[in-house]
Structure 1
Amino acid sequence: MASDVDKPHIPVLLNPLLRECAPITGRWLDGTFGAGGYTKGLIAEGADHVTGVDRDPLAHQMAEAWINEPPYAGKIDLVLGTFSRLDEYASDLDGVVLDLGVSSMQLDQAERGFSFMKDGPLDMRMSQDGMSAADFINTADEAEIADVLFHYGEERQSRKIARAIVKDRVEKAPFTTTLQLAGLVERLLPRKKPGQSHPATRTFQAIRIAVNDEFGELIKGLEAAERALRPGGQLAVVSFHSLEDRVVKRFFQERASTGGGGSRYAPEQEVKTPGFEQLSKAIGPDEDELEANPRARSARLRVGRRTTAEALPVDRAAMRLPKPVLRRE
């Protein structure tokens, strides 16, 4: 029987992405390489070369089985790193693809600790180093846990959950497994109704975002993509929850405005040439994709085309990033 790692991993919104970015030519960068689905699609549609970036060592190990075989041999370079530094790995690109959030490859492995449906160590680290979810849950104070759950997961019961976490870790035992944490949330929140998400969905999302500094990485990645793209190059971003999509939407809105990289909060600022042309509004999955891949239900694709304007730092205030930023050692 095939293991979860061996199961095919379906890239979300691949066909709409290829359609919006057509014709696919030249040099691209896949900033969230994963199982290589977007990279394979780009090469099949005409990309000459793809730089694949992923901070998960497992993605690199899995790719060894196929990247040196036809039709991919000589067309893919892999970099172990984060997409927030993508302009250090390639430049003058025709396109950049970013698929945000956790991959199905990571969700399917219980030992990675991303899923509340399978028992495993409470980890959630994409890079497999640094502070784990268990480290955070067992050491952060109640207020910080509540803030993370509320701001990164939009969990309305954040204070109730945080209070119970702190109480349980002291009176019972430290949190070490995914089902231990998921079980606590299930005890506190009403049982889910048919069609609703699992009660622990928002809690796990929030902790994963905090542990991996996903919003910090996203802003830096958008800035890096702007620097790395040639004029006419395209940036395609696939997000999986509303918090991410809002940031990507605001980025393209700010960059498409005559304020360039400036902020709407500084009206006297010098007018600049827009850094991106927005190519489409948010695109979601169609019925066929939802039937083939239910995980695509919340996915949204946004695409922009780079102009000749100078790349500028992102105005963090204009992005209205969720707070707080996790306090780190």
Structure 2
Amino acid sequence: MTGPRHVPVLLDRVVSLLAPALERDVADGPGEPGHTILVDCTLGLGGHSEAVLQRCPRARVIGIDRDPQALALSRERLAPYGERFTAVQAVYDEIADVLADQGLPADGGVDAVLFDLGVSSMQLDLPERGFAYAVDAPLDMRMGDTGPTAADVLNSYTAAELARVLREYGEEKMARRIADAVVRERQREPFTSSARLVELLYDVIPAPARRTGGHPAKRTFQALRMEVNDELRVLQRAIPAAVAAVGVGGRVVVESYHSLEDRLVKRVFTAATRLDVPDDLPFVPEGAQPSYRLVTRGAEQATPSEIEENPRAASVRLRAIERIRANKPPFSTSTGKGAV
């Protein structure tokens, strides 16, 4: 495979968490005869999926990505695995529809689901995608090929709307100051390139603030990317759907890189594993036991050696959950616009 190469974060640990669900006796799993099924909801260049296909010979992988470039590269990379790999262009909150198209039920239809959230190395490494602030490029930032771009957001949102995006998704302390400057400058000329936005951020953010927290554009670019791709609302629908999709003995593994993402995952996992009976009840009624158990204790982080080898691992938070009973999950799995 030619082109960018993505170095998967915590690859060995992720595969070790998935393996018990994918290497078990296939007669016990929900998958098709002879195979267990992993849904890789963030396929990217297929690094995690390749490792699973190599190490778990019973596993079949359904890879989901909204990015047609990533799908083309992953298909090339994983072609040697033949029918054990299926690539699907979709947004990962459409997991129920993807499973239906594959002839699988949305409740308990697969053995494992994986999310490696955030922007991929491929997207960062291709300047024309506009994700990176280190080079001048069109302000695109779309993970797929449809919908508004980052330039559209910068040139059409009000100052209040921009400040909200920067504050919520970028945790940017200078959010209103940056938003006011963007609105003022776009009246002179609309924003089209990343270099002009970076220049504005250097002008607006005071020097003492620029000396802490990394590159001054980091938080703004992250916030714009999350807004353009509707990442949190998509994730809010996708995680409950993924938890419902695994059968008994199945696992959901999630790598998050943003505190809001990790908080959302934690909330869904906590709801799924909570024993919802009064504390003073002397027994647990039949059917009241939680349907899931936590596999990781809290959120696991990368070791210093892994961070040195792969700097992207510095902010990762890894969580995993396993379904232990067939009871219905304690939350809605609708893919509509409602909250979890």
**C-alpha deviations, 1:90-125, integer Å up to 9, x for none?**
242110001111111101111101111111100111
Matched AA of 1:246: R
Matched AA of 1:73: G
**C-alpha deviations, 1:215-261, integer Å up to 9, x for none?**
1110111122123211111000000111111111111111111249x
Highest CA radius of gyration, 1 or 2? Answer: 2
SS, match of residue 321 in structure 2: strand
**CA positional deviation for 1:276:** 2.3
1:108 is the counterpart of 2:119:
no
SS, match of residue 52 in structure 1: strand
SS, match of residue 79 in structure 2: coil
Q: Which ranges of structure 2 fall in alignment gaps of 5 or more residues?
A: 24-35, 278-286
Mapping 1:80-159, distance limit 5 Å: 80-90=89-99, 91=104, 92-159=109-176
Mapping 1:235-250, distance limit 5 Å: 235-250=252-267
The residue that corresponds to 2:292 in the other structure is 276
Which range moves more in the overlay, 307-316 or 228-237?
A: 307-316
Matched AA of 1:290: I
Matched AA of 2:91: T
Which range moves more in the overlay, 149-158 or 12-21?
A: 12-21
**C-alpha deviations, 1:134-188, integer Å up to 9, x for none?**
0111011111001111111111110000000000001x31100112112211211
The residue that corresponds to 2:223 in the other structure is 206
The counterpart of 1:302, out of the listed 310, 316, 319, is 319
Q: 1:315 to 1:127 in 2, by over 3 A?
A: closer
More helix by share: 2
Matched AA of 2:82: A
The counterpart of 1:293, out of the listed 305, 310, 319, is 310
Q: What percentage of residue pairs aligned between the two structures are identical?
A: 38
Mapping 1:1-329, distance limit 5 Å: 6-23=3-20, 24-25=22-23, 26-46=36-56, 47-69=58-80, 72-90=81-99, 91=104, 92-170=109-187, 172-191=188-207, 192-193=210-211, 196-259=213-276, 272-280=288-296, 281-307=298-324, 308-314=326-332
- In 2, distance between residues paired with 1:20 and 1:28? 12
Which range moves more in the overlay, 235-244 or 179-188?
A: 179-188
Asked if 2 retains the 8 angstrom alpha-carbon contact of 1:87 and 1:227, the reply is no
Q: 1:163 to 1:315 in 2, by over 3 A?
A: farther
- In 2, distance between residues paired with 1:150 and 1:41? 37
- In 1, distance between residues paired with 2:291 and 2:117? 22
Which range moves more in the overlay, 205-214 or 59-68?
A: 59-68
Normalised TM-score (structure 2): 0.83
SS, match of residue 302 in structure 1: strand
Asked if 1 retains the 8 angstrom alpha-carbon contact of 2:75 and 2:87, the reply is no
Q: 1:272 to 1:137 in 2, by over 3 A?
A: farther
Asked if 2 retains the 8 angstrom alpha-carbon contact of 1:219 and 1:314, the reply is no
The residue that corresponds to 1:326 in the other structure is none
**CA positional deviation for 1:314:** 4.6
SS, match of residue 39 in structure 2: strand
**CA positional deviation for 1:273:** 4.0
Matched AA of 2:323: R
Asked if 1 retains the 8 angstrom alpha-carbon contact of 2:46 and 2:77, the reply is no
- In 2, distance between residues paired with 1:221 and 1:275? 18
**CA positional deviation for 1:54:** 0.3
SS, match of residue 173 in structure 2: coil
**CA positional deviation for 1:190:** 3.4
Aligned length: 300
Q: Which ranges of structure 1 fall in alignment gaps of 5 or more residues?
A: 261-270, 322-329
**C-alpha deviations, 1:63-86, integer Å up to 9, x for none?**
2323222xx222100100011011
SS, match of residue 254 in structure 1: helix
Matched AA of 2:271: E
SS, match of residue 22 in structure 1: helix
- In 1, distance between residues paired with 2:127 and 2:310? 20
- In 2, distance between residues paired with 1:193 and 1:149? 19
Normalised TM-score (structure 1): 0.86
SS, match of residue 133 in structure 2: coil
Moved over 4 A (4+): none
- In 1, distance between residues paired with 2:238 and 2:40? 12
